[in-house]
Chain A
């Protein structure tokens, strides 16, 4: 196979009897950055879940570094060990653990016991708010702070592929800029990105390829500089059904 870190082939997926994806194929190569855009309910989050092993596809296959991931029960932790990390949408933190424990859970595995303190320092440097509240139980953080916490977990680690779902939702504009700044930094170190983002402008600026998801199907994909016009019209179409 080529240098694709992650490849979805004809993936179909859904929830119980409900189908959300109908034969999606998408590949992310090493160091590449792909923006996934689409209307609400198009299936972006579902695709991200399949791509990180949280949801098993009902048909089709998921490949990491060219080899097929175990069908049926895809254990998400294997994806992480292979370098594919996922920052899920919403408040994805352990509400009963402290800020520090939330981070330590990931960092100790990634950096070992000796690298733990260093990892924590970098996280607090990235988001000083978290450093101030390191002992607080994560469930009592504000919505934005919880977002920061779940981002800190993945941004510090610079995995091989980062799947980020609605990164900037609920963050103050200044923090959003800072997050995208960090993203482009870790991109420069070789991390590939698969980004789901409603702030399309930001996402397109960062990425070199875009894929448009409509009703569970990829309707267009290509370089971001060509995305412009086609993308605009599509998004507006599905947003305003007149």
Chain B
């Protein structure tokens, strides 16, 4: 053969080897683009939808023993569209005219909750080491070798065939059918579409069913490549799909196809050549180990940052947006003055009572939980700065917090430095990273900024943490990333009580900083930008400086919080506290509950840290009925419930994008205002 010469043969083999996974990436990217094009939702829950079908396929085929075609039918062509329909009906229909950021937050919530809900409802649990078999008979056993360099198995051929068929189907749908045209119209303006006599609800229901089917198909096809089913792997898969879809600016189907294939080829070729190179050049070795799993994130980040067209794309606005009422003002601004006074007094009273009870009565566990709540609230304030004030969303706040935590660990471990000083250095370092990161991503709006920061979070997770000068390397493996408590002169914060005081002081200081920032020039600039960037620019307000400052301050707050959390737990606990998916989880809690105000952040922090012991473990009920032994039998509730409730919270948030706490406040304020005014009128 002509291809006998080594380099080209390797290259060709790499490309062939990368084609089947590339085809699946393409399939996911297509489904992803389909959802985005037809509903305007940047659906990070796509992987969760894929997971559900894959798990169902496994259950039906391997557990119940049904034939493959029946399993495929049930999981991909019945369950998947059904999931899409339910999601559309229960959630996304209400979000049609919501901001891109609130839609994104809802999908993040779903990506965590959906797999849990499925596992619980179907009593499914992944069996380690038991792989899913492909959809064709004897898929992994029969090989074809058309070119004499790489042997495709049947599963791989099926992947390629399905991806091709899917592309053709979608292309035909958009080019030739009324449904395709209607789907594009609905994203832009559901109301205008209705004025053309088309039932917008039906169109978007169809779009969701179809894209969910794509998700299910891709999920089942890719499953044999994983060792066992885990929803985490599927989440990562979505990031890959986003990278592929981004090459087509999220709207071009052919480019999404090529992007998926290209990514498959790139990864395979990279893996073909890097080991050889690393043998010759030893300095490449750490990269070889660390970079391979993070390639998709690096590619995604590079696309977002380097490709100018991405930032310039603006979402088309609904010409009939004028039908919607304006967003309501913060409840606190409309409150009756007497109610405000009452709320303040009550707040002070409540905090004092809780403080006293904790101080005098709490046991070690509760003291520690309250401390955690305080620190989480502090970290949440970093979200208040970016999301609450700036209206943008950053998905790498966990990474900033981790930078703070790791700095304290490294400084204490290597230089025996005082941890408080190290915490400040950590905050400064996080601020520097935040400012640096903000430079290239500044021009990206809404969803793109979120994705760039998510790519960064995954990159940090996959590459940086592995370096011993960050994550501790072998030290961390042997003894854990240990962090001592601070010591100032005679005060030893090893005492939990003293440390709680320290955390509260930090929280108060940061709250004051955040409020000052909001009232100052930066806050006003951000508020103006939040309204309309174009209008703000036309009266001479520049986005750049305010955004960089906001990013840096937010990162510093998160870094400080991360450092405090590490001290509190006397360990960085990266995987438990700051890993990307965990961080997304806590981010959703604060955005859903209320990221616009300082109280919102504090309440969310309390909810996040205390919900589980207080409600799920039944401590509160136990206290009410006096005695744990009298608790009903179903306590403590299983951890799954936490995730399911979390999903429900995301759904509620879909209806009240200003935040649930804010919504509750407004409702009660309206009621009490009415009552107070009626009384005044009578008097």
Interface pair B199/A75, CB less than 8 Å apart: yes
Interface pair A110/B197, CB less than 8 Å apart: yes
Which residues of the other chain, B, contact A15 by a CB distance below 8 angstroms?
A: 323-326
User: Does A236 sit at the interface, judged by CB under 8 A?
Assistant: no
User: Which DSSP category, helix, strand, loop or mixed, fits chain A's interface?
Assistant: mixed
Beta-carbon nearest neighbor of B194 in chain A? A76
User: Does B128 sit at the interface, judged by CB under 8 A?
Assistant: no
Beta-carbon nearest neighbor of B201 in chain A? A75
A97 partner, pick from B188, B197, B324, beta carbons under 8 A = B188
User: Does B508 sit at the interface, judged by CB under 8 A?
Assistant: no
Q: How far is the CA of A97 from the CA of B196 in the complex (A)?
A: 14
User: Does B627 sit at the interface, judged by CB under 8 A?
Assistant: no
Which residues of the other chain, A, contact B191 by a CB distance below 8 angstroms?
A: 54, 76
Q: Which of B485-537 contact A (CB under 8 A)?
A: none
Interface residues on chain A, size class:
35 or more
Which residues of the other chain, A, contact B201 by a CB distance below 8 angstroms?
A: 75
Which residues of the other chain, A, contact B320 by a CB distance below 8 angstroms?
A: 54, 88, 92
Which residues of the other chain, B, contact A17 by a CB distance below 8 angstroms?
A: 325
Q: Which of A205-221 contact B (CB under 8 A)?
A: none
User: Does B129 sit at the interface, judged by CB under 8 A?
Assistant: no
Beta-carbon nearest neighbor of B317 in chain A? A95
User: Does A193 sit at the interface, judged by CB under 8 A?
Assistant: no
User: Does A160 sit at the interface, judged by CB under 8 A?
Assistant: no
Mask of A36-65 contacts with B, CB within 8 angstroms, 1/0: 000000000100010011110000000000
Interface size for B (C-beta < 8 A) is 28
Looking at the assembled complex, report how far the CB atom of B181 sits from the nearest CB atom of chain A, in whole angstroms: 6
Give the segment of A98-106, A118-126, A128-136 that binds chain B: A98-106
User: Does A81 sit at the interface, judged by CB under 8 A?
Assistant: yes
A95 partner, pick from B178, B188, B194, B199, beta carbons under 8 A = B188
Looking at the assembled complex, report how far the CB atom of B13 sits from the nearest CB atom of chain A, in whole angstroms: 42
Beta-carbon nearest neighbor of B190 in chain A? A76
Beta-carbon nearest neighbor of B327 in chain A? A16
Looking at the assembled complex, report how far the CB atom of B315 sits from the nearest CB atom of chain A, in whole angstroms: 10
Q: Which of A1-26 contact B (CB under 8 A)?
A: 14-18
Interface pair B319/A105, CB less than 8 Å apart: no
Interface pair A94/B197, CB less than 8 Å apart: no
Which residues of the other chain, B, contact A108 by a CB distance below 8 angstroms?
A: 178
Interface pair B182/A105, CB less than 8 Å apart: yes
A109 partner, pick from B192, B198, B325, B328, beta carbons under 8 A = B198
Interface pair A105/B328, CB less than 8 Å apart: no
Q: Which of B172-203 contact A (CB under 8 A)?
A: 178, 181-182, 184-185, 188-189, 191-201
Beta-carbon nearest neighbor of A74 in chain B? B194
Interface pair A52/B195, CB less than 8 Å apart: yes
Which residues of the other chain, B, contact A106 by a CB distance below 8 angstroms?
A: 196-197
User: Does B316 sit at the interface, judged by CB under 8 A?
Assistant: yes
Interface pair A18/B323, CB less than 8 Å apart: no
Mask of A147-178 contacts with B, CB within 8 angstroms, 1/0: 00000010000000000000000000000000
A15-B326, A54-B191 given as contacts; is B316 within 8 A of A105 (CB)?
A: no
Looking at the assembled complex, report how far the CB atom of A140 sits from the nearest CB atom of chain B, in whole angstroms: 12
Interface pair B326/A109, CB less than 8 Å apart: no
Closest 6 CB pairs of A and B: A16-B325, A80-B197, A15-B325, A76-B194, A77-B194, A106-B196
User: B residues within 8 Å of A by Cβ?
Assistant: 178, 181-182, 184-185, 188-189, 191-201, 316-317, 319-320, 322-326, 328
Can you name 5 extra interface pairs (CB under 8 A) apart from A96-B184, A97-B188? A76-B195, A77-B194, A94-B189, A104-B181, A105-B185
